[in-house]
C-alpha cells in the first residue's frame, strides 16, 4: 500500500497527462491515448487530478472548411477591390463629390437636350400649320415643306433618343457610385477588423 501511494505522489506521475473525451456512446472516457476518430471530435488534456490543461475543439467538417475558404476568398477579392478604390478616394464624402461632379455635367447636357426638344417640337408644329394652311387653300403641300417636316421629325426622334440615353446614364452613374460607397464601407470595416485582430 505504501508503495502505491509513493508511486502516485512521485513527481513523474504528477506530470503525466490524460485525454478526456466522449466515446461513440456518449460516455466520458479518460485515457492515456485517444483514438483518431475521437480526436477529430474534440477533447481535453487533463492532469491526474482532473485539472484541464488544454481544450482541443472539434475539427471542422469538410463543408465548413470549404465555406471558410470561400469566405476568405471573398474577403481577399473585396480587399483587392477596396485597395484600388482607396487609392482614388480617402473617404465616402470624396466618392459622393466625384459622383455629383459627373451628374452636374450630365444634368447640364440633359437640360440642353430638353430645351432642344422643345424648340424642335415648335418647328414641327409650325411646319404642320403651314402644310395645313396650304391644304385648306386647296393646293398641294410643297415637296420642300414635306421634306423639311420629315427632317425635323427625324431630328426630334434622334434628340429624344439621346435624352433617354442620358437619363439611363444618369441612373447608372448613381448606382455605380452607390456600389463604390458600399464597397468602401465594407472594405474599411474589414480593414479595421483585421487591424483589431
**pLDDT by residue (tens digit) across 89-107?**
999 999 999 999 999 999 9
Instruction: State how far the Cα of 54 lies from the Cα of 93, in Å rounded to an integer.
Output: 49
H or E, element range at 144:
helix 143-196
The per-residue pLDDT for 1 is 34
Residue by residue, DSSP assigns 67-131 as HHHHHHHHHHHHHHHHHHHHHH-SSHHHHHHHHHHHHHHHHHHHHHHHHHHHHHHHHHHHHHHHH
Task: Verify that 111 and 52 share a domain, yes or no.
Answer: no
- Check whether residue 118 and residue 166 sit in a common domain: yes
**Residue 151 grid coordinates:** 427632317
Q: Which of 21, 36, 56 is the last residue of a domain?
A: 56
**Are 79 and 27 in the same domain?**
no
Can you give the pLDDT of all 197 residues of the chain as single tens digits? 333 333 444 444 456 899 999 998 889 999 989 998 888 889 999 998 889 999 999 887 788 888 889 999 999 999 999 999 999 999 999 999 999 999 999 999 999 999 999 999 999 999 999 889 888 888 888 899 889 999 999 999 999 999 999 999 999 999 999 999 999 999 999 888 877 66
pTM: 0.60
What is the H or E stretch that residue 56 is in? strand 52-56
CA distance 86 to 154: 46
Q: How many domains is the chain partitioned into structurally?
A: 2
- Asked whether residue 81 is domain-assigned, the answer is yes
- Residue 2, domain member (yes or no): no
Cell of 3: 508503495
Question: Parallel, antiparallel, or unpaired: how do β-strands 43-47 and 17-22 relate?
Answer: antiparallel
Amino acid at each position: 500500500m505504501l508503495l502505491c501511494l509513493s508511486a502516485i505522489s512521485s513527481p513523474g506521475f504528477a506530470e503525466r497527462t490524460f485525454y478526456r473525451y466522449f466515446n461513440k456512446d456518449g460516455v466520458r472516457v479518460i485515457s492515456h491515448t485517444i483514438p483518431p476518430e475521437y480526436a477529430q471530435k474534440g477533447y481535453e488534456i487533463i492532469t491526474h487530478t482532473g485539472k484541464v490543461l488544454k481544450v482541443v475543439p472539434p475539427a471542422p467538417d469538410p463543408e465548413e472548411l470549404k465555406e471558410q475558404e470561400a469566405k476568405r476568398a471573398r474577403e481577399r477579392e473585396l480587399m483587392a477591390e477596396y485597395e484600388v478604390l482607396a487609392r482614388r478616394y480617402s473617404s465616402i464624402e470624396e466618392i459622393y463629390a466625384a459622383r455629383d461632379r459627373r451628374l452636374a455635367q450630365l444634368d447640364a447636357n440633359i437640360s440642353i437636350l430638353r430645351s432642344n426638344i422643345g424648340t424642335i417640337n415648335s418647328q414641327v408644329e409650325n411646319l404642320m400649320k403651314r402644310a395645313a394652311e396650304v391644304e385648306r387653300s386647296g393646293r398641294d403641300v410643297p415637296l420642300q415643306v414635306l421634306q423639311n417636316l420629315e427632317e425635323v421629325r427625324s431630328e426630334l426622334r434622334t434628340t429624344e433618343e439621346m435624352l433617354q440615353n442620358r437619363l439611363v446614364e444618369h441612373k447608372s452613374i448613381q448606382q455605380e457610385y452607390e456600389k463604390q460607397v458600399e464597397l468602401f464601407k465594407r472594405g474599411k470595416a474589414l480593414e479595421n477588423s483585421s487591424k483589431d485582430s
